[in-house]
Structure 1
Amino acid sequence: MKVLFVASEAYPFIKTGGLGDVVYALPKALRKLGIDVRVIIPKYSSIPLSLKNCMETIATFKVKVGWRNQYCGLEYLTYDDVPYYFIDNEYYFKRPQTYGYYDDGERFSYFSKAILESIKYMGDFTPDIIHCNDWQCGIIPVLLKANYSKDAKFNKIKSIFTIHNLKSQGIFPREILNELLNLDETYFNEDALKFYDSVSFMKGGIVFSDAVTTVSNTYAREIQTPFYGEGLGGLLSLKAEKLYGIVNGIDYELYNPKLDKKIFCEYDSQSIKQKVKNKLKFQEELCFTVNEDIPMIGIVTSLVKQKGIDLIIDKLEELLSLDIQIVLLGNGDDYYEDIFQFYASRYPSRISTNIVFDDKLAQQIYAASDMFLMPSLSEPCGIEHLIALKYGSIPIIHETGGLKDTILFYSKYTGNGNGFSFNNYKSEELLDAVNRALDLYKDKASWNKLIRNAMLSNNSWENSAKNYMNLYSKILKK
């Protein structure tokens, strides 16, 4: 079985969020199952030079984008035993940032077209399935059926579209159909790409792919409702027969406190006393009171409403009145950044606010913190709480999406569970969940049992990869 995995980012080449981790880890896990998976992404200028120098150009050709004939270079390298292809065009991808430009519609129209043309130059590799990720790749299933269905090299290729976050949909003016995609007006209807008065790349992926997946079972159900559906809930409900929820995992070669050189002291589930050394050293560096008995709560997040930041802020004064320490790492809305910086200046021995994106600091927070707060309003899957589990930082979550699927409320009576949760999206319930965790923290025997449960939770990509392999087989049999 041959699968071309298409995305707009992949670690270690380029990463802006969890998608980059998924595109690195899932293909690697699938290859271990015997599937010939290859990844293709844009060749951004911000890719490290050490990696660029290892790429070889295997083809150059032209891509038609509306009336334009644009250059495309197809480059290649192998990283961690996974073959990677790169779409090279400096006009579209030699820029400081990955997304957020006025011409993103044109950039990813070009990218989608270049993907399909590049298959002609991959030698003996013709994919059975093109696995597309998020809106940047959503138009590929459309073009595959519109332009390549009569081509013998392409007419048996199936497509799968994975929704990582429904909020970002790639919505552009209807003129994009002809001016960039070379599609006629028949595609501007409710059963195709029309989204109100615009064109949605996300909708294209949902309608024209052979299967749609998203990153947890609960999120797959949620996005069929008006609240979570972002205007596409009705469509997803209609397409429910081809919608699958497969929960994300994490790569335990990247996220493992026993192997992590970024933390102060390595440890595992059999040596959790070593975890305390990370906390004591971190307290010292943050100029907090150095005391292992003071609970430390970690927050690694984007400072946006979706992540439940308003709930935290609503109860932050009460939280800081408790005998706890809070360490926050993240950036986002100026409003939220300013509030956390204010509290850090007011309570410097209780809260540390770090408005940066820093992988090393994130790892240190996971290793040092006793609890990890993630009260998201919605969360397709999330990766931070899975990392927290592996590092023995106990998640406190709002029951939504992948959070609900992976965190089981801990009972000291049965000894089962790996975290704490609250059902209704209310700040009072968040505070109650934190207090329940703090109460259990006083019982060291129960708390250590909970830490071991968390660290032994299996959230590797192995099970998820098997689910994807089964789905690939099912689609190919249709």
Structure 2
Amino acid sequence: MIKVLMAASEAVPFAKTGGLADVLGSLPPSLKEKGIDVRVIMPQYKAIPKHLKDNIRHIKYIYVNVGWRRQYCGINEAEYKGVKYYFIDNEYYFKRDGLYGYYDDGERFAFFARAVLEAAISIGFIPDIIHCHDWQTAMIPPLLELQYRWREEYKNIKTAFTIHNLKYQGIFSKNVYSELLGIGDEYFTPDKLEFYGDANYMKAGLVYSNAITTVSESYAREIQYPFYGEKLDGLLRARSHELYGIINGIDYDEYNPDRDSLIFKNYDENTIEDKKINKTELQKQLNLPQRDVPVIGLISRLVDQKGLDLIECVLNEILNMDIQFIVLGTGDLKYENMFKYYEGLYKDKVSSNIKFDNTLAHRIYAGCDMFLMPSLFEPCGLSQIISLRYGTIPIVRETGGLLDTVIPYNEFNDTGYGFTFTNYNAHDMLYTIRRAVQFYYNKDIWQKLIKRAMKLDFSWSASGDKYIKLYNKLMGKN
């Protein structure tokens, strides 16, 4: 049995800021079902809800070197969906509001990287593979290669590194390598750890990992070009033969319209009439008129990357159509204020919900007719996959995981189940929205699209098999 230790900075249900946490909450249980001895290790944050924290038990403690300091490292564990989750406990680093964004993030996750390597051996779980996720864990592969490989317990451990979003790299002063991690200046070169005069944790992970994955095949191709490559495209091209794109799945237990306790009325592809009840009740909840018009949903961080600048450009034209538009999310103040302004201007058409609300998110997925996702770039995207699960037809730009998961509807050969546009252009998006609205009123076609969407399988089963194939390859097995 292959033993995999997944290292990550967040995981559902314990702590979440984005899609990374969803993956770490749903992929490991899927791999365990397929016979992998997979465990997860993450920081023990103050933000972990009390009812979950009460079930975390202390195993032992050790001390971890961070530069000249020896820091306390508690090792705790809990179980979720049959998978062991280990927690690195140090109140100085992790008993804070929020997960990231502190002046000493470089030190916090330098500590975490070394703690992962020390803790694994200390608890007697010597993995075959340490699977690292994003920049917060990216120093594990270089530390393993440069400082631990000579020790017997670490001799055969392989590493995989998954890029969830290349934009966030963990860039700090070069001193973090020597002062916090004890890595000599001889490794501070362009082909190893140096990044335009700075330290870059993400780059370090990419250089020293045995395999690199990212969260869709298209994104794996895109990041090898300068526009998407965030100054790491050259390195990624050099390692392209060890770079794999594996699409994310979703938890089909949590996102299941037939059993979802958070929505107004359960339904499946054979009872899609009941989807209309969710629409009407959602309109009631958000004080929108209960009318049979296309309802477009947007659940997103309100930032440029998500295409909010395109929406800003043509929002008046969108709202001049006979539609309703429901927004849920937080982000840049200018976009938060924009939606509040338009809600005041179009009271019967816009519901602006500037917050995070999981229950409302489920109800938007179930109650809307369309889901808008016009991203500038999107490594994978989970929202379009969730919307398909609920029979809510996505309108997306063809990039990254959006390109891989949404096949555009073609009325001439009757294929596809979504609406897409290629260029990052507001009027291309507007045209695509208008086209979707036009087909909404052809009820035979629209019902066909809903049924097609709901029959798709974006569970972890197929993607889990691809990870297992990669693990076997790293282990030298066929």
Q: TM-score, normalised by structure 1?
A: 0.99
Residue 67 of structure 2: aligned partner: 66
Residue 358 of structure 1: aligned partner: 357
Determine the C-alpha separation between the residues in 1 that align with 2:4 and 2:11. 16
Check if 1:134 corresponds to 2:154: no
Instruction: Note the alpha carbon deviations across 1:367-395, whole angstroms, 9 max, x for none.
Output: 11000000000000000010000011100
Check if 1:246 corresponds to 2:246: yes
Answer whether contact 1:415 1:450 (CA < 8 A) is retained.
no
Answer whether contact 1:109 1:181 (CA < 8 A) is retained.
yes
Residue 385 of structure 1: aligned partner: 384
**Alpha-carbon shift at residue 417 of structure 1 (Å):** 1.1
Residue 255 of structure 1: aligned partner: 255
**Alpha-carbon shift at residue 182 of structure 1 (Å):** 0.9
Residue 303 of structure 1: aligned partner: 302
**Alpha-carbon shift at residue 414 of structure 1 (Å):** 3.4
Determine the C-alpha separation between the residues in 2 that align with 1:51 and 1:189. 44
Check if 1:226 corresponds to 2:201: no
**Alpha-carbon shift at residue 76 of structure 1 (Å):** 1.1
Instruction: Note the alpha carbon deviations across 1:218-245, whole angstroms, 9 max, x for none.
Output: 0000000000000101111111011100
Check if 1:161 corresponds to 2:142: no
Residue 177 of structure 2: aligned partner: 177
Check if 1:334 corresponds to 2:339: no
Residue aligned with 1:315, SS? helix
Residue 51 of structure 1: aligned partner: 52
Instruction: Note the alpha carbon deviations across 1:99-157, whole angstroms, 9 max, x for none.
Output: 0000000000000000000012222x210000000000000000001111111111100
Answer whether contact 1:174 1:198 (CA < 8 A) is retained.
yes
Determine the C-alpha separation between the residues in 1 that align with 2:476 and 2:448. 46
Q: Which runs of 5+ in 1 are unaligned?
A: none
**Alpha-carbon shift at residue 415 of structure 1 (Å):** 3.2
**Alpha-carbon shift at residue 411 of structure 1 (Å):** 2.3
**Alpha-carbon shift at residue 268 of structure 1 (Å):** 0.8
Check if 1:17 corresponds to 2:18: yes
Letter of the 1:94 partner, please give it.
Answer: K
Residue aligned with 1:241, SS? helix
Answer whether contact 1:7 1:134 (CA < 8 A) is retained.
yes
Residue 213 of structure 1: aligned partner: 213
Check if 1:451 corresponds to 2:450: yes
Letter of the 1:85 partner, please give it.
Answer: Y
Residue aligned with 1:453, SS? helix
Residue 347 of structure 1: aligned partner: 346
**Alpha-carbon shift at residue 205 of structure 1 (Å):** 0.7
Determine the C-alpha separation between the residues in 2 that align with 1:221 and 1:413. 30
Residue 395 of structure 1: aligned partner: 394
Residue 374 of structure 2: aligned partner: 375
Determine the C-alpha separation between the residues in 1 that align with 2:328 and 2:51. 28
Answer whether contact 1:416 1:453 (CA < 8 A) is retained.
no
Determine the C-alpha separation between the residues in 2 that align with 1:48 and 1:339. 33
Determine the C-alpha separation between the residues in 1 that align with 2:51 and 2:304. 37
Q: How does 1:260-275 map to 2 (within 5 A)?
A: 260-275=260-275
Determine the C-alpha separation between the residues in 2 that align with 1:103 and 1:418. 46
Determine the C-alpha separation between the residues in 1 that align with 2:165 and 2:465. 22
Determine the C-alpha separation between the residues in 1 that align with 2:445 and 2:175. 61
Answer whether contact 1:74 1:86 (CA < 8 A) is retained.
yes
**Alpha-carbon shift at residue 412 of structure 1 (Å):** 3.3
Residue 282 of structure 1: aligned partner: 282
Residue aligned with 1:190, SS? coil
Letter of the 1:358 partner, please give it.
Answer: D
**Alpha-carbon shift at residue 285 of structure 1 (Å):** 1.9
Determine the C-alpha separation between the residues in 2 that align with 1:436 and 1:77. 49
Q: Which runs of 5+ in 2 are unaligned?
A: none
Residue aligned with 1:178, SS? helix
Residue 467 of structure 2: aligned partner: 468
Answer whether contact 1:371 1:396 (CA < 8 A) is retained.
yes
Determine the C-alpha separation between the residues in 2 that align with 1:52 and 1:6. 19
Determine the C-alpha separation between the residues in 2 that align with 1:397 and 1:253. 25
Instruction: Note the alpha carbon deviations across 1:145-188, whole angstroms, 9 max, x for none.
Output: 11111111111000000000000000000011111111110121
Q: How does 1:309-320 map to 2 (within 5 A)?
A: 309-320=308-319
- For the aligned residue pairs, the C-alpha RMSD in angstroms reads 0.9
Residue aligned with 2:74, SS? strand
Q: How does 1:18-97 map to 2 (within 5 A)?
A: 18-97=19-98
Determine the C-alpha separation between the residues in 2 that align with 1:286 and 1:150. 61
Answer whether contact 1:297 1:372 (CA < 8 A) is retained.
yes
Determine the C-alpha separation between the residues in 2 that align with 1:107 and 1:344. 41
Residue 420 of structure 2: aligned partner: 421
Residue aligned with 1:303, SS? coil
Determine the C-alpha separation between the residues in 1 that align with 2:264 and 2:29. 29
Determine the C-alpha separation between the residues in 1 that align with 2:120 and 2:295. 51
Residue aligned with 1:119, SS? helix
Which range moves more in the overlay, 2-11 or 279-288? Answer: 279-288
Residue 441 of structure 2: aligned partner: 442
Residue aligned with 1:228, SS? helix
Answer whether contact 1:415 1:449 (CA < 8 A) is retained.
no
Residue aligned with 2:153, SS? coil
Letter of the 1:75 partner, please give it.
Answer: N
Determine the C-alpha separation between the residues in 1 that align with 2:87 and 2:287. 45
Residue aligned with 1:3, SS? strand
Answer whether contact 1:303 1:332 (CA < 8 A) is retained.
yes
Residue aligned with 2:226, SS? coil
Residue aligned with 2:463, SS? helix
Residue aligned with 1:416, SS? coil
Determine the C-alpha separation between the residues in 2 that align with 1:287 and 1:254. 27
Task: Give identity over the alignment, percent.
Answer: 51
Letter of the 1:10 partner, please give it.
Answer: A
Residue aligned with 1:61, SS? strand
